[in-house]
Amino acid sequence: MPPLTNTRWETFTQNWFEGKTQCEAALIAGYSQKALRSISSRLITKANILARYNELQELSASKKVLTKQQRMEILSEIASGNLIDYQEVGADGGYLSIGKESPNTRAISEITSRTEYDKEGSGAALVTKVRLHNPVPAIDLLNKMDRIYSDAPIVNVDNRVVNFIVKDKEQADKIERLVAGISGRTGRLIGES
The string of pLDDT tens digits covering residues 25-48 is 999 999 988 888 999 999 999 999
User: Which is it for strands 124-132 and 87-90: parallel, antiparallel or unpaired?
Assistant: unpaired
- Name residue 74's beta-bridge partners: none
How far apart are alpha carbons 81 and 10 in whole angstroms?
A: 31
Average pLDDT, the chain: 82
3-state class of 191 per DSSP? Answer: coil
* pTM of full prediction above 0.85: no
Closest CA to 112 of 91, 96, 123, 124: 96
**pLDDT above 60 for 193:** no
Domains of the chain: 7-65 (1.10.10.1400), 74-139 (no CATH), 160-193 (no CATH)
Residues in CB range of 86: below 8 A, 6 or more apart:
96, 97, 98, 102, 108, 130
Cβ–Cβ under 8 Å, residues 21 and 37: no
- Please tell me the predicted confidence (pLDDT) of residue 153: 65
How far apart are alpha carbons 77 and 79 in whole angstroms?
A: 5
The string of pLDDT tens digits covering residues 130-156 is 899 999 999 998 888 887 876 666 667
